[in-house]
Amino acid sequence: MVSPLDFQLVNAARQGDCQTVETLLTQGAHVNGTDLQNTSALMYAAQRGHREVVNCLLSAGANVNQQRPFSGLTALMFAVAANRVEIVQDLIAAQAQVNQTNDDGNTALMIAAYKGHTDIFTQLMAAGADIYHHNKQGDTALKLAIKGDHPQVLELLDTEAELSREQGLVFAIRCGSLRVFQALLTAETEIDNPDAEGETLLSLAAAEGQTAIIQALLATGAEVNQRDEEGETPLHYATVEGHLEAVKTLLAGGASVHLANQFGDTPLILAVVQGYTQIVQELLQYGADPNRKNYGETPLTLAITNGNLDIIRVLLAGGADANTRLPNGRTGLMKAADEGNLVLLRLLVEAGADVTLTDQTGATALMWGSHRGYVKVVKLLLATGHVNLNEKNQSGYTALSLAEYNKYPDVIELLKKAGATC
């Protein structure tokens, strides 16, 4: 339980009221007492930049290395995070342990690296901070400086003692650290050289969706259409991961929408399969072919199979053939009629799908709808005015005879009213 005097002491320190701090200490407040957040007076004073209070507390015997429970933070760490240069100096002089770690395994130096506080970073190095210490995630001060995107911190370290320049570039890409990336990128960097997995810096940036780094690489002359070992370009990478802005940037930089990987997949096919409607739209605007086939499938047949109505709409508006056939020989219209999918049926009819086409068994969309007993499907198809009511499939059945065979009275009535006679 927090005593009233301790609570007042912590509050006075937080507000920078040195006189009240001194008074409360003489009245018996515990110099290392904490508030309900388990934060001591010294921690607050260090964080808020109240140097006079910090020195008052230190003179009164405050534990400079006290850690806040559940986080492990010390006054030094609070001061470092808040960039309190002079207070850091005072705490080091008071024997603050510079290599003490918090619950995440981070030292004060690592916090300074991530925050980009170079003056404090230099102070801590001079005080003996371990620059190679790893936190619980395996990061060092160098990696945290890259994560925080602080190239000025890298200048204080022997970067290549930990990472080669190429490794640093890759790590910067993964972290989205543009300034570090630009600092590490030199005229000698062979930007189009693939790694062991065939990835270039541009394809990695595309896969990570790092638009600003993509722009930097393109401005440096990176080959926008370079393929990896599977024939994939940076546009494939960005597409399959769903990075719309990266896709836009690559397209604006000259990426080809027509190149297929070794499996025959174009970026458009990948976008359809993944269900990325906006990317599909973007690729179509740059001339992607909505009717290009791969193993008997087109973007539209894939979208129909996946039931993605939004992408179907975009493809149809972008010139996809409404009569394209699925691998089983049926058109999308037949599939919609067979499944009673009125929304898809209507989309295809409005896009000009031919209701008279037949599948390999000689069946039309009307026959499939009648066979299943879908009244609304039959109504919609009849409303087109183009169906051949008495056409027979290869087994000799018409739409009416199929409805009669399966005993669908409502469909039978509709067909007869429309003029079906057999």
**Each residue of 278-287: pLDDT tens digit?**
999 999 999 9
Q: What is the pLDDT of residues 240-274, one digit of tens each?
A: 999 999 999 999 999 999 999 999 999 999 999 99
Residue 2: pLDDT over 80: no
Nearest to 6 by CA among 22, 30, 25, 23: 30
Residue-wise DSSP of 302-331: HHHHHT-HHHHHHHHHTT--TTPBPTTS-B
pLDDT confidence bin for 95, thresholds 50/70/90: very high
- Contact of 179 with 153, CB cutoff 8 Å: no
Residue-wise DSSP of 74-128: -HHHHHHHTT-HHHHHHHHHTT--TT---TTS--HHHHHHHHT-HHHHHHHHHTT
Across 382-400, average pLDDT: 95
Residue 43 exposure: Cα atoms within 13 Å on the Cβ side? 20
Cα dihedral across residues 295, 300, 303, 304: positive or negative? negative
Q: Rounded to an integer, what distance in angstroms lies between the CA atom of residue 185 and that of residue 379?
A: 65
Domains of the chain: 1-97 (1.25.40.20), 328-422 (1.25.40.20)
Across 130-158, average pLDDT: 96
pLDDT confidence bin for 98, thresholds 50/70/90: very high
Distance of CA 236 to the CA centre of its chain: 15
- Contact of 295 with 269, CB cutoff 8 Å: no
Kindly state the tokens that stand for 416: 């007869």
Residue 188: pLDDT over 80: yes
Residue 235: pLDDT over 70: yes
CA dihedral 324, 327, 331, 333 (to 10 degrees): -120
Cα dihedral across residues 215, 220, 226, 230: positive or negative? negative
Query: Against a cut of 0.85, is the pTM above it?
Result: yes
Mean pLDDT, the chain, as a whole number? 96
Whole-number percent of the chain with pLDDT over 90: 95
Instruction: Kindly report the backbone phi and psi dihedral angles of residue 319, in degrees, each rounded to the nearest multiple of 5, phi listed first.
Output: 105, 10
Instruction: Kindly report the backbone phi and psi dihedral angles of residue 325, in degrees, each rounded to the nearest multiple of 5, phi listed first.
Output: -100, 145
- Contact of 197 with 237, CB cutoff 8 Å: no
Across 370-378, average pLDDT: 97
Across 38-52, average pLDDT: 97
C-alpha distances (whole Å) from 123 to each of 76, 151, 299 are 12, 18, 60
Q: What is the pLDDT of residues 303-354, one digit of tens each?
A: 999 999 999 999 999 999 999 999 999 999 999 999 999 999 999 999 999 9
- Contact of 218 with 244, CB cutoff 8 Å: no
Whole-number percent of the chain with pLDDT over 70: 100
3-class state of residue 274 by DSSP: helix
Across 385-396, average pLDDT: 94
Q: What is the pLDDT of residues 397-420, one digit of tens each?
A: 999 999 999 999 999 999 999 999
CB-based burial, 330-364: b 16+ in 10 Å, e otherwise: bbbbbbbbbbbbeebbebbbebebebeebbeeebb
Nearest to 78 by CA among 49, 47, 55: 47
Residue 96: pLDDT over 90: yes
pLDDT (0 to 100) of residue 406: 95
Q: Rounded to an integer, what distance in angstroms lies between the CA atom of residue 182 and that of residue 213?
A: 8
pLDDT (0 to 100) of residue 160: 84
pLDDT (0 to 100) of residue 161: 86
Q: Which residue has the tokens 């309190």?
A: 84
pLDDT (0 to 100) of residue 47: 98
3-class state of residue 40 by DSSP: strand
pLDDT confidence bin for 1, thresholds 50/70/90: low
Q: Rounded to an integer, what distance in angstroms lies between the CA atom of residue 314 and that of residue 320?
A: 9
Q: Rounded to an integer, what distance in angstroms lies between the CA atom of residue 223 and that of residue 207?
A: 15
Distance of CA 280 to the CA centre of its chain: 17
Counted residue by residue, the chain has a size of 422
